[in-house]
Chain A
């Protein structure tokens, strides 16, 4: 370590400059690292595929984050801004959605892509048909039974 007390008087200005320069280097190199330790990251447990248009987005971050979502062939939109660590998205149509987090300092997460592939509509309509028949059967049995009971 330097012992400034041993320096002669005429070097006082130079000494002060040296101290300021040392502090400046210290602030510019160490302080940002302490305040913004790491960029936000998506939780590794997050499901990246959905057949019902729903995504439970979870992340880890220090402080406020901004979550944006880009859909194939469409623009990027803001989904969330705040200090929570998860958000539930629903009503997404068939497509690929790129999600990205930005921290308070502008640091960006690695993007994740969520694939939404809805279930077969023909299967859904087939199940509706079965449901209607089963329900109709129950109604008939109850109402006929009540009538003749």
Chain B
């Protein structure tokens, strides 16, 4: 057994942090020079190609939660937990045809909020905004917290300082460079992440064989190998649906669908999903190896970095430090950009200042990014709750939006009563199950309730939606 300890000299940790911070901020400022209007800032001029599109889809979905939560899932729920996490890839894969449809229906669209407002009206739009802002903040909080925890575990950098620096860097380059900077940095970050995870997987296998891992699990954690482990079995579809809900509703993905060049969106999301699919399996595998490697795990959300630092030593600690920093940045920047665009477009322009100029909207988006960063920092500072608990609280909310979005994109019979009822009933009952049964059923129940209500409302609907309403000019 080993004890928890710092694996990287704090001075070296600070040097790495400073170097990568300078790189991302420098690139953000450079790419931001091209942005003249809100459309340039929010949607990178609607001209993103396939390579950048694929990289940003994969990199954004490789979050700190992939590197932290996938191992935690494996440690808590075993092999099923590891596979359950990887099912989130289907969110990107299924969004591929939807992105094509979104571009066809809404050639001038900016946000997923535009879809709800035009398709279902203001009540559904308001509910959507509450749900998506809650989810986005939760996601941001979980990643910023993960950043602080990881930097503390790997380099002894104080949680509050590590979390603050990561958040500040992302806020600065997202403010300056908008979506172009986010997508550009995502490309570099995705390459670093994929190489880093491959190296880690091979390093673990150099230290311990699969048969040793299996023998250790059989002796000490037998339920993790049990095909009929109830908590793990329940998590499979819950996680899959959570992934679908996250991708289908969130402006992180809709903004990319709007930003990609014609004909690129469906291919980019499909390839991004396929690139992402094996990554949680690799990340989860190292957690299953923790017992065979003799790594004592004080807290479930620390298993990933502890195992990696143990098997790779100080050189590996540098590599994982960089990978973690990249995975955090690639997601925090995307979420900051997409959420600030949502607030700017849906609340500032549509509700408060309809006559805002393109230049003033760009400035507003920058200030909203700053405000989101400050709010996230305030929530993260007390370091409350485990990562899984924080993130999965939003599960029922996103699950309840799947059916209104899917039917709203493809069925003319989908209507406001169906969308509003599906979101309220689904989220309400899902949250009740979250507390009465557990997080691992909440999203599933929410989506199922939402489906039944939506199908019923569509079945009884007499009106048929006119698709041209969605082609609203900017």
Chain A positions within 8 Å of B, measured between CB atoms, are 51-54, 56, 77, 80-88, 90-93, 118-121, 123-125, 127-128, 130-135, 137-139, 141-146, 149
Contacts and interface: CB of A to CB of B under 8 A. Distances in A.
Contacts of A91: 78, 217, 220-225
Contacts of A131: 236-238, 240-241, 444, 448
Interface of B is mostly: helix
A93 B3 CA distance: 26
A88 B223 contact: no
A123 B33 CA distance: 57
Given A54-B76, A135-B240, A149-B101, A90 B298 contact: no
Given A53-B229, A141-B407, 6 more contacts: A83-B3, A85-B298, A87-B296, A93-B223, A127-B238, A141-B411
B98 to A, nearest CB: 6
A124 B233 contact: yes
B300 A88 contact: yes
B409 interface: yes
B11 interface: no
Most-contacted residue by chain A among B224, B297, B407 (CB, 10 A)? B297
A138 B237 contact: no
Contacts of A92: 221, 223
A143 B410 CA distance: 10
Given A82-B3, A90-B221, A91-B217, A128 B100 contact: no
In this complex, the member of A118, A123, A138, A144 whose beta carbon has the largest number of chain B beta carbons within 10 angstroms is A138
B352 interface: no
B447 interface: yes
Interface of B: 1-4, 75-78, 94, 97-98, 100-101, 104, 217, 220-226, 228-231, 233-234, 236-238, 240-241, 244, 296-300, 303, 402-403, 406-407, 409-411, 438, 441, 444, 447-448, 451
A54 B234 contact: no
23 contacts: A51-B438, A77-B220, A90-B76, A91-B222, A118-B229, A118-B230, A119-B231, A120-B230, A123-B234, A127-B237, A128-B234, A128-B237, A130-B237, A130-B444, A134-B237, A134-B241, A134-B444, A134-B447, A139-B94, A141-B410, A145-B411, A146-B97, A149-B410
A80 B237 contact: no
Contacts of A134: 237, 241, 444, 447-448, 451
Contacts, number: 141
Nearest to A149: B101
Interface centre among B223, B226, B238, B303 (most CB of A within 10 A): B223
A70 B409 CA distance: 57
Nearest to B96: A146
Contacts of A90: 75-76, 221, 223-224, 300
A125 B299 contact: no
Contact of B234 (A83, A119, A137, A146): A119
A59 B474 CA distance: 60
Contacts of A145: 97, 101, 406, 409-411
A142 B98 contact: yes
A138 B224 contact: no
A88 B298 contact: yes
Nearest to A82: B3
A149 B103 CA distance: 12
A142 B94 contact: yes
A25 B94 CA distance: 79
B210 to A, nearest CB: 17
Contacts of B299: 56, 86, 88
A51 B436 CA distance: 13
A120 B230 CA distance: 7
A142 B410 contact: yes
Contacts of A85: 298
Nearest to B2: A82
Interface centre among A51, A123, A134 (most CB of B within 10 A): A134
A108 B14 CA distance: 43
Given A88-B298, A146-B100, A124 B230 contact: yes
A84 B104 contact: no
A83 B411 CA distance: 61
The 9 closest A-B pairs by CB, nearest first: A131-B237, A91-B221, A145-B410, A146-B97, A91-B224, A124-B230, A52-B231, A119-B230, A82-B3
